[in-house]
Amino acid sequence: MPPRKYPNILITGTPGCGKTTTCELAAIATGLTHLEVGKLVKERGLHDGFDDEFQSWILDEDKVVDELEPEMQQGGRIVDHHGADFFPERWFDLVVVLRADTQVLFGRLEQRGYSSKKIEENMECEIMQVVLDEARESYRPEIVVELPSNTVEDMENNVERIESWVTQFVQERSE
């Protein structure tokens, strides 16, 4: 991939850990474009139908990668997804894995109206740090950052950190 002026960032973590909220604020702070994969899968038909058991669209990885490739080549994208195991490694300059404490996550998922089965699965995913392990297996360790996302203060700190990182990236590339 040619060097890009603006970085691509992946913000990932278990559902409910705060990805979308963090991405929206980070996009405002940095001027980068937020791409919410779940939403695009539904809107642009990047799926293989609907899974009744899990009550979600069955994501088609090839369709997602093909659809996003031109935008990722341009750079300046913040990708929001609850997994980190199928995007091309070359896409990202920074991978942020958001983490939430068990009790905090439970409350958020309950408030979302998830079934107890879905809550249980997601809690297990967070406790077993599935997404963090995926990120560490898929990207160079030096670009993977694990950040807490329990409180509003955590979120503000995370957005500030991402903003400073983007500023530095852009500065280094323009020198």
Question: Do the Cβ atoms of 15 and 38 come closer than 8 Å?
Answer: no
149 binds ligand ADP (CB under 6 A): yes
Among 21, 56, 129, 157, binds ligand ADP (CB under 6 A): 21
**Window 114 to 133, contacts with ligand ADP (CB under 6 A):** none
Query: Applying CB under 6 A, does 17 fall inside the site for ligand ADP?
Result: yes
Contact between 30 and ligand ADP per CB under 6 A: no
Q: In residues, how long is the chain?
A: 175
Q: Does 108 bind ligand ADP (CB under 6 A)?
A: yes
The yes or no reply on residue 154 touching ligand ADP (CB under 6 A) is yes
Distance CA 19, CA 37 (A): 11
Among 13, 75, 76, 83, binds ligand ADP (CB under 6 A): 13
Q: Which stretch binds ligand ADP (CB under 6 A): 14-22, 43-51, 114-122, 137-145?
A: 14-22
Strands 9-12 and 77-81: parallel
Indicate whether 99 belongs to the interface with ligand ADP (CB under 6 A).
no
First to last CA, the chain: 20
Q: Is 93 helix (H, G, I), strand (E, B) or coil?
A: coil
Q: Work out which of 18, 75, 76, 83 binds ligand ADP, going by CB under 6 A.
A: 18
- Token couple for 145: 């950052």
The whole-angstrom separation of Cα 15 and Cα 12 is 9
Residue 123: Cβ within 10 Å count: 17
Residues that bind ligand ADP (CB under 6 A): 13, 15-21, 108, 149-152, 154-155
